[in-house]
């Protein structure tokens, strides 16, 4: 029976309430009311990759992972990721863009072969590549290349073939790995064509620390300009490095194209004073995106004379992953309370930042698990789907008799054992949620 059509009756005298039933029973009810539909919190959404034509996410109410295209909002299930979880340990464990619409994740193994999995969520074509023990790798160039570091500290460039095999390609321009440690590397997840690698002298050896750009198509390594230091990140055609001191943040940036062409010698400097500790997400459309307190989203134009612009005031809450970046720009879950949406921020043809709402996040579907009346109160227990698509809400614990009430008939939901509260639910909670409506008329229930 539809929730809106349920009718509840209760005795005004309050000693023995009648049972809940549909309209038209025998007997004369002393009070009749219709149970209102509960107002649930908007559904949660965790975003993982902002691909070129769509994004990969987990949306509450949908099973497993979903690929949604930007143009039409069409949802494609991704069964290849069913049952997999991705802790946020950048840049290897978690799902990352491998260029275009390809995504990749690395699976470690300290006692046997590790692996790198690359897939196209839209087409459903996936490949898994065996790696040496203790090796780590990231993919790029539309899933056809990978940079791998082996346990001896050397870097390798791999061709990723469609038959799950790999072939090593030459890397040129990097320093001798017996003298230098090639520190953790990262691929530009927007273009997927270039990576940044930092070389530092091994303990006991002398040398100059230096960062390099590695072109995945040719294997050529190009050193960054002298004196620019190390610790650079790469994103959407930009190198950037962040330093904080006395509450002020300084961002150094260089265009990758200028470095490869040899036309830049000094980074651009941008400075601002944040309201909290920033978490940096990467560059889109010439602006560095970051969050404050995991709740507000900002973009800092890397022009050297601009201030951050607030884009979202309220992002999705734990345990969701509210922001992802990639070839399609930045995809964020947020918005005003009660009306969140998935929004895409991408570079427009004229170089400006284009903002598009991809979809509104309505409350998830809910079904009535149990409906009962105890001591003049109607108890409705709802089953609400989780982020992985399963329904994990069970029956609520028994409710003790309520205290004496003197107010008229009320449909204010009440938390079992407490006073009234706004009807809402934490989107991804793992415990039962019960909604109870009191229909008492002001007299004390039996004790």
pLDDT tens per residue, range 81-105: 988 887 665 455 678 899 999 999 9
pLDDT: which is higher, 36 or 152: 152
pLDDT digits (tens, 9 = 90+) for 326-370: 999 999 988 765 578 899 999 888 888 889 999 888 887 777 878
Contact 29, 439 (CB under 8 A): no
pLDDT-derived band at 381 (thresholds 50, 70, 90) equals confident
Average pLDDT over residues 35-61: 85
Q: Which residues contact 260 (CB under 8 A, 6 or more apart)?
A: 194, 213, 215, 222
Answer whether 22's CB lies under 8 Å from 7's CB: yes
Q: How confident is the model at residue 387 (pLDDT cuts 50, 70, 90)?
A: low
pLDDT at 37 over 50: yes
So what's the pLDDT on residue 81? Answer: 92
| DSSP track, 140-177 | ETTTTEEEEE-TTS-EEEEEE-TTS-EEEE--BSPPPT
CA distance 281 to 256: 18
Instruction: Cis check for the bond before 319: say yes or no (omega within 30 of 0).
Output: yes
Residue 15 scores a pLDDT above 60: no
8 A C-beta contact, residue 333 and residue 342: yes
| Residue 246 pLDDT | 86
pLDDT tens per residue, range 251-297: 999 999 999 999 999 999 999 999 888 888 889 989 999 988 767 88
221's tokens: 């390594």
**Run of H or E residues at 117:** strand 113-120
- Across residues 373-378, what is the average pLDDT? 76
What pTM, to 2 d.p., does this model score? 0.76
Q: Are 116 and 140 in contact (CB under 8 A)?
A: no
Pairing of strands 341-347, 248-255: unpaired
Q: What is the pLDDT of residue 330?
A: 92
Containing 258, the helix (H) or strand (E) segment is helix 256-261
- Higher-pLDDT residue of 207 and 43 is 207
- What average pLDDT is seen over the chain? 77
Assess whether pLDDT exceeds 60 at residue 66. yes
Report domain extents, the chain: 1-40+365-447, 86-223
Please list, in sequence order, all residues whose beta carbon lies within 8 angstroms of the beta carbon of residue 41, skipping any fewer than 6 positions away.
Answer: 363, 424, 425, 426, 427
Q: Which of 228-242, 255-269, 431-445 has the lowest mean pLDDT?
A: 431-445
Task: Flag whether pLDDT at 417 surpasses 70.
Answer: no
Residues paired with 102 in a beta bridge: none
């Amino acid at each position: 029976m539809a929730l809106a059509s349920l009718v509840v009756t209760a005795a005004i005298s309050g000693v023995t309430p009648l049972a809940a039933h549909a309209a038209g029973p025998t007997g004369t009810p002393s009070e009749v009311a219709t149970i209102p539909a509960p107002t649930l919190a908007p559904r949660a959404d965790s975003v993982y990759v902002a691909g070129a034509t769509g994004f990969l996410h987990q949306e509450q109410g949908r099973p497993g992972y979903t690929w949604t295209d930007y143009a039409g909002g069409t949802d494609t299930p991704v069964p290849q990721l069913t049952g997999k979880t991705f802790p946020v340990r950048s840049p290897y464990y978690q799902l990352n863009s491998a260029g275009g619409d390809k995504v990749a994740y690395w699976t470690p193994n300290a006692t046997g072969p590790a692996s790198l999995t690359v897939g196209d969520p839209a087409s459903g074509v996936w490949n898994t590549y065996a790696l040496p023990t203790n090796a780590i790798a990231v993919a790029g160039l539309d899933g056809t290349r990978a940079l791998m570091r082996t346990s001896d500290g050397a870097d390798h460039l791999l061709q990723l073939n469609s038959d799950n095999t790999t072939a090593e390609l030459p890397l040129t321009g990097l320093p001798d790995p017996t003298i230098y440690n090639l520190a953790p590397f990262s691929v530009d997840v927007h273009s997927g064509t270039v990576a940044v690698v930092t070389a530092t002298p091994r303990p006991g050896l002398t040398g100059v620390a230096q960062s390099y750009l590695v072109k995945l198509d040719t294997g050529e390594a190009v050193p960054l300009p002298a004196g620019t230091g190390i610790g650079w990140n790469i994103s959407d055609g930009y190198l950037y490095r962040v330093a904080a001191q006395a509450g002020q943040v300084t961002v150094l940036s260089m265009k990758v194209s200028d470095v490869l062409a040899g036309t830049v010698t000094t980074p651009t400097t941008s400075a601002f004073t944040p309201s909290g500790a920033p978490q940096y997400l990467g560059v889109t459309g010439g602006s560095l995106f970051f969050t404050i307190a995991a709740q507000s989203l900002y973009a800092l134009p890397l022009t050297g004379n601009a201030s951050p612009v607030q884009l979202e005031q309220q992002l999705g809450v734990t345990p969701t992953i509210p922001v992802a970046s990639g070839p399609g720009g930045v995809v964020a879950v947020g918005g005003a309370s009660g009306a969140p949406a998935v929004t895409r921020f991408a570079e427009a043809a004229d170089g400006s930042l284009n903002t598009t709402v991809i979809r509104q996040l309505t409350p998830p579907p809910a079904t009535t698990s149990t409906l009962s009346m105890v001591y003049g109160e109607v108890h409705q227990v709802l089953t609400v789907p989780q982020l992985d698509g399963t329904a994990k809400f069970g029956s609520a614990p028994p409710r003790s008799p309520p205290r004496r009430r003197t107010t008229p008939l009320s449909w204010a939901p009440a938390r079992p054992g407490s006073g009234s509260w706004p009807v809402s639910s934490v989107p991804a909670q793992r415990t039962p949620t019960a909604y109870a409506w009191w229909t008492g008329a002001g007299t004390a229930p039996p004790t």
